C-alpha cells in the first residue's frame, strides 16, 4: 500500500510524480530543485542559496509526513558543477546532524529548469 505525501509548503510536482510516497515503512522524496513554493519561481542564486531552498523544501515534505531530517537515511545530490561541492556541503551540514544519512553526490550535465542542484531523499517512518 502506498500513501502520497503532499504539502503546499514545497513546490508542486512539475510532472507525473508525487512530492513523496510512503511505502513499507519508508518515505521516498522526489528530487527537489530550488523553486520557491509560494511563488513558483526558480531561485538562480549561489549554490549555497539554492541548496538552502532545496533542503527547506525537503524539510516541508518531511514535516507533512510527521518526520524530520533525523529520519533521513539516504540522499542523492545532483550538481551541475562538482567544483561547488564544498559550498553545497557547508549548507547541507546545517540541516543534517550525526548520525548522518548515507549520501551520493554526482555531477550531471543539466537539471530541470536550468538549476544547479537537485536532491532526493529516503527516510524511515513508523508507518507501514
**Cell numbers placing 58:** 525537503
- What is the third-level CATH fold of 2-124? 60s Ribosomal Protein L30; Chain: A; (3.30.1330)
d(C-alpha 69, C-alpha 27), whole Å: 12
What is the helix, strand, coil percentage profile of the chain, to 5? 30, 30, 40
Measured CA to CA in angstroms, residue 62 lies from 44, 54, 87, 97, 115 at distances of 24, 12, 24, 16, 22
% of the chain at pLDDT higher than 90: 92
Give me the pLDDT at residue 4, please: 95
**What does the H/E/C string look like for 60-116?**
HHHHHCCCCHHHEEEEEEEECCHHHHHHHHHHHHHHCCCCCCEEEEEECCCCHHHCC
Confidence of residue 107 (pLDDT cuts 50, 70, 90): very high
36-94 pLDDT per residue, tens: 999 999 998 999 999 999 999 999 999 999 999 999 999 999 999 999 999 999 999 99
Domain parsing of the chain, residue ranges: 2-124
Give residue 15's pLDDT band: very low, low, confident or very high (50, 70, 90).
confident
Amino acid at each position: 500500500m502506498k500513501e502520497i505525501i503532499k504539502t503546499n509548503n514545497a513546490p508542486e510536482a512539475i510532472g507525473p510524480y508525487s512530492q513523496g510516497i510512503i511505502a513499507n515503512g519508508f518515505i521516498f522524496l522526489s528530487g527537489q530543485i530550488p523553486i520557491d513554493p509560494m511563488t513558483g519561481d526558480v531561485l538562480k542564486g549561489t549554490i549555497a542559496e539554492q541548496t538552502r531552498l532545496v533542503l527547506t523544501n525537503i524539510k516541508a515534505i518531511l514535516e507533512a509526513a510527521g518526520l524530520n531530517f533525523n529520519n533521513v537515511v539516504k540522499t542523492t545530490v545532483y550538481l551541475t558543477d562538482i567544483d561547488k561541492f564544498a559550498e553545497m556541503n557547508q549548507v547541507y551540514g546545517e540541516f543534517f546532524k550525526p548520525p548522518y544519512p548515507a549520501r551520493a553526490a554526482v555531477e550531471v550535465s543539466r537539471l530541470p529548469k536550468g538549476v544547479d542542484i537537485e536532491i532526493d531523499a529516503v527516510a524511515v517512518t513508523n508507518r507501514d
